[in-house]
Chain A
Amino acid sequence: MAGHIDIKGIVVIVGNYGSGKTEVAVNLALDQHARGVHVRLADLDLVNPYFRTREVRRLMASLGIEMILPPEGWLQADLPILTPKVGGLIRNPGELAILDAGGDGVGATVLAALADAFQAPGASLQVFQVVNPFRPNTQTVAQCLAMRSTIEAASRLKVTGWIGNAHLLSETTADHIREGHDLMQALSKASGLPLLCITASEPLVAQTRDMGLNCPILTIRRQLVPPWLKPAAWHAID
């Protein structure tokens, strides 16, 4: 396989609606935690009412991963609540602070409100755009770049890299992952920005490794599931 994912400082996860930002942010936090990195995870999704990072707060608490969330009484509201603790997290990110933003430009707008905090001297800031090429509107390089422009304009931040998250949930095959990887490499080339990693659900990780792709693979253990499915069991990475 092609190395581990190496991230430090402030890491902002952006992307279009349903690109899998939250699942990626959660699994990225789990991955880094398992590698001994001190991680904190902030839920900045102010626009999406369901399947938010806050739904994994119990798992995170059990692992000792601190989450920055709206106040408990407002967790299920569709109100734009931004806890002041987020500003503190950005000023003092510690080893790694992952910020999960909402979808599209609308969801990324919250980041603009934090722009001053991001400008702190010495801040290490990386912004990764998650792409699932099986979602409408991010199926071509041009569409992904257009989405990047929308997000950058709304967030007042520059995307600094890509995360490939090609999947069709339980119907995903290795071919989908390869197809997604190829699009991400083309996107990386067209944008001049690096590809941080691609993702593969746990059952497809071995096959994905065998492809000999030139980028790290983030294992996805699906945590945000409908009530008839169980979240994938969490265990430390091999």
Chain B
Amino acid sequence: MSKVLMKGNEAIAEAAIRAGCLNYFAYPITPQSEVAEYLSWRMTEVNGVFLQGESEVAVSYMIFGAAGAGVRVFTTSSSPGISLMSEGISYLCGAQLPAVFVNIMRGGPGLGGILPSQADYNQATRGVGHGDCRLLVMAPASVQEAAEMVMMAFPLAEKYRNPVMLLGDGLIGQMMEPVEFPDHLKSEPSNKDSWATNGIDHRNGTTRNLVRSLFLDPEALNNNNLMLRAKYERMKAEEVRFEAYNTEGDYQVLIVSYGTMSRVCKTAINALKGQGVEVGLIRPQTLFPFPDVAIREAAAKPSCRTVLSIEMSMGQMVDDVERCLHGVRPVEWYGKCGGEVPTPEEIIDLVKASV
């Protein structure tokens, strides 16, 4: 297929279909409603299902039901809607069911505003729901990357039998860029017999599949959560993804930034290079697991004096940057919220002030 010009929301929708996901439940909310709008006609072309729930809470349990039946399923929402889904997300983690959640973030707290934001970082990377749960969280910086990450998300959710979240700011959903898609992938989870309540008679030799998150026996719950913890540790070992930009040579400042915010940072880095100031960038592509080692190594370069965490929030990822640096380098946060996006000029001034 040749390139087409698509909004991020449209590309996310099409990517899910290309990944073989033919089940979509959602409730509209700005700035991600184009996903639902697109799938309202596109799902009919591929004999898929799009059902609008009466609320995001209901949607999260429609996802639970479909995942429990062993089919690929996903939903999309924006910040307040994800808060409502948090209960179902926890239940999915507890029952070890795979599904994909997309959060196209808007400003908060509360109803906030409809413009781009990265203020749900803490919510996403700390599991969204209650209990000892975690999500694998991916953060795209372009429309093409959003499409690719959606297609990666389904097999990853199935590999870990755990929800995967795509965390994009409003710009990722709303901006248009050229995008191309690969051919169809396989349409069913290859390992679904390990969890799906699909009516197969397992009485001859194997244990039947139970979809549940209730463990009244404390030892059983403790063991269950140790097993979940081992899965999250395995994610840390196997799924870290990041992009390093301008980190080959020496630099005095290292920026850590993700999503579309990182593209503003790159514009600033390129301008600074023209002025003889070198700045490195680590862009986490996975927010959980976080690229601890990459950031630590990039910050440990002898020329590096300071590390800046630049976010469209009031300072959330900065905690993870500080955690992985163990105080080796001073860490500063810079950010804006509510739809205000730090400009390249502001970042240039910030870097110059810190060298």
Contact = CB atoms under 8 A, between A and B. Distances in A.
B148 interface: no
Interface in B1-55: 3-7, 10, 14, 30-31, 34
A211 B30 CA distance: 42
A50 B176 CA distance: 11
B119 to A, nearest CB: 16
A186 B344 CA distance: 44
A78 interface: yes
Contacts of A139: 4
A66 B288 CA distance: 48
A117 B266 CA distance: 49
Contacts of B85: none
A49 B30 contact: yes
B115 A18 contact: no
Given A78-B30, A227-B341, A228-B344, A50 B174 contact: yes
B114 A49 contact: yes
Interface in A51-68: 51
Contacts of B260: 226-228
Contact of A226 (B6, B7, B171): B171
Interface residues of A, number: 21
Interface in A28-63: 49-51
A169 B176 contact: yes
A130 B113 CA distance: 30
A132 interface: yes
Contacts of B3: 134, 168, 171
Interface string A126-162: 0000001011100100000000000000000000000
B289 interface: no
A128 B351 CA distance: 47
B177 interface: yes
**Secondary structure of the B contact surface, majority rule:** mixed
A228 B114 contact: no
B87 to A, nearest CB: 26
Nearest to B7: A18
B299 to A, nearest CB: 24
A146 to B, nearest CB: 12
B5 A227 contact: no
A83 interface: no
Given A50-B170, A76-B339, A169 B5 contact: yes
B4 A136 contact: yes
Given A50-B171, A76-B339, A135-B5, A227 B178 contact: no
A226 B263 CA distance: 9
A136 B13 CA distance: 12
Contacts of B339: 76
A136 B10 contact: yes
A77 B31 CA distance: 11
6 contacts: A49-B114, A76-B114, A76-B115, A134-B3, A167-B5, A168-B3
Given A18-B5, A50-B171, A228-B260, 5 more contacts: A51-B174, A136-B10, A139-B4, A226-B263, A227-B264
Interface of B: 3-7, 10, 14, 30-31, 34, 113-115, 170-171, 174-178, 260, 263-264, 266-267, 339, 341, 343-344
